[in-house]
Amino acid sequence: EETKEKLDAERVPGLIVKGSYRRHYTYGETAAHVLGHVTRDMDGVAGIELQLDAALSGTPGRQAVQRDRRDVVRAVVGGTRVEPVDGQNVVLTIDLVRQSILEEELARGVQEAGARWGTAVAMDPHTGAILAMANVPTYDPNRAGSFAEASRRNHAVVDRIEPGSTFKLVTAVAALESGTSTPESVLQTGNGTHTFSRRTMRDTHGYGTISLADAIVHSSNIGMALTAERMGRGPLYRTARALGFGQPTTIDLPGEVAGNLRRPETWDATTLPWMSTGYSLDVTPLQILTAYAALANGGLLVHPHVVAERLDARTGRAVWTARPDSVRRAFSEETARALMPAFERVVTERGGTGAAAQVEGLRVAGKTGTAQTAVNGRYLNQYRASFVGLFPVEAPEVVLYVLMDSPRNGSYGGVVAAPVFGRVARRWIGTFPRVAQRVAPAEAVPHRASAAVPSVAGMPSVLAASRLRAEGFDVALDAAPWLPASLTTEGLAVARRAPLAAPLDLVAPERMASSRAATRTARARQAMPDLRGQSVRTAVSWLRALGVEPTVSGAGSVVTQSVPAGRPLPRRVTLTGQAR
């Protein structure tokens, strides 16, 4: 804008300078399906851009003007003038490092499996906050028109699929809640084939006499169908409804479908046994994820969401904040506790279908799924392979679902989807301090050679710090005394030594304790920073990170602050802004 003003002031003959705006997505393809994109007119057409288009856009201003016959526009003295209202800033629940890792591993998994597409989504089972959501193929929202529509499809939200064996959780929960079965209930599955209403069902192996828990571990279709017949239609349908199937989760992303769960009176003689194994209904990947979140949190159905809060663009204050709350209790805590060991055995036990999801030192529970693909009512020789898991079992913090469509190099969920889960979980451990401490206590972590430090040159410091922590390094900001280690400094590159862009100090694991002590000392010496010259928006963000409540007068850049730099941090401060 400054350059344009200079050119306008010079009045160069024949030179016409016109301004325009465009949205720039700093991280390219990262989280593209969550963010969405805009048209040239800045109208949202996908993702959060569409869902919160009105909040992001704000309100245009207007002013009474006159245009003379030489096409010169002048303001009308005393005319009406309405100032524009800035759109809100939107803060997502997505963590950039975890998102990048999930996208990398999903892309690798799709390539190795030779799948047509893949989708993966992770959630905090206690709050419903989406931690990461990825699709392959993907697209760059900076040039969305250059990509096919299939690349812009958010499969986790808009695709209806038959889930296969991942739905067996619902059957197991219904059986326990109805009192017709326990995990130890005996099932006669025979030699691997069984006829239900003149239609033959098969297991991959003949398991003979097994328990309900064993049927989960070995993914016995016959075992689950026998369990369903023992309890009848009502309990299975009611449990499926309680867990959100047949209705949208109402996630704050556009285009979500509800799936299809038919009422029991419309079922035929084979619907019950086949539905118990994940056929005869349509679900979304997000619905399966939400059901397993209920297993992780003790039976509560939570509301998935990707927006954490919306902030006033001028003051930085939150105008809306997500308040995590359960939708309803889907089943009892006792049922969750009774079933969790079986789903953990799916991963840990030899012969369990999810062994490829194992992570050394980390307790993982989950379930594989392999469902034949139907087109126009006919089943093809194509499959959708999936795995949904949670970790750590003793105090779950993550539920993650991975789905591959039409893989050519293997068709089972345990072969193509579970390894993706395992690699993601292994790399995510460092981003969850409590999980990392359980898996590898600080005193037990061996020395990390400097050669293993990933390159973070040019990254914003907050991203670089998170990226390094994800690889097992402790990171502190080597900063001025008033700058806290938790301060978010997006947009300031690591290599840049500006006053507020502190260089990163890599701390090997054996120095973690001393690093944390140094950080506490630095925080104790916090003082009021000099914010003059910074944008009001940036200054407000920094002050709020320091625990100071700012009051703003004006806009643009900070010209005065009520508390001088170097003074002890106040509880409140007044900033005066002035447009350049």
Q: So which residues are the catalytic ones?
A: 165
Q: What is the 3-state secondary structure (H, E, C) of 97-108?
A: HHHHHHHHHHHH
Residue 377, φ and ψ in degrees, nearest 5 = 85, 0
Q: Which of 262, 260, 253 is nearest to 284 (CA)?
A: 260
Contact criterion met (CB below 8 Å) for 320 and 90: no
Sheet arrangement for strand 130-136: 130-136, 117-123, 398-405, 378-391, 365-375
d(CA 144, CA 507): 40
In 3D space, the residue among 308, 309, 312 whose CA is nearest the CA of residue 537 turns out to be 312
For 474, the 3-state DSSP assignment is: strand
Which residue, 224, 182, 179, is CA-closest to 338? 182
Distance CA 357, CA 421 (A): 6
How many Cβ atoms sit within 10 Å of the Cβ of residue 60? 8
The DSSP result for 372-414, as a single string, is EEEETTEEEEEEEEEEEEEE-TTS--EEEEEEEES-SS---HH
Q: What is the 8-class DSSP label of residue 223?
A: H
Can you tell me whether residue 260 is helix, strand or coil?
A: strand
Mutual orientation of helices 221-231 and 168-178 as an angle, nearest 10°? 40
How far is 262 from 328, CA to CA, in rounded Å?
21
What is the C-alpha separation between 180 and 567, in angstroms, rounded? 69
**Tokens at residue 377, please?**
């009512």
Please name the residue that has the structure tokens 């100032």: 83
Task: Put residue 194 in one of left, alpha, beta given phi > 0 → left and psi -120 to 50 → alpha.
Answer: beta
Angle at 118 between CA 148 and CA 103, to 5 degrees: 90
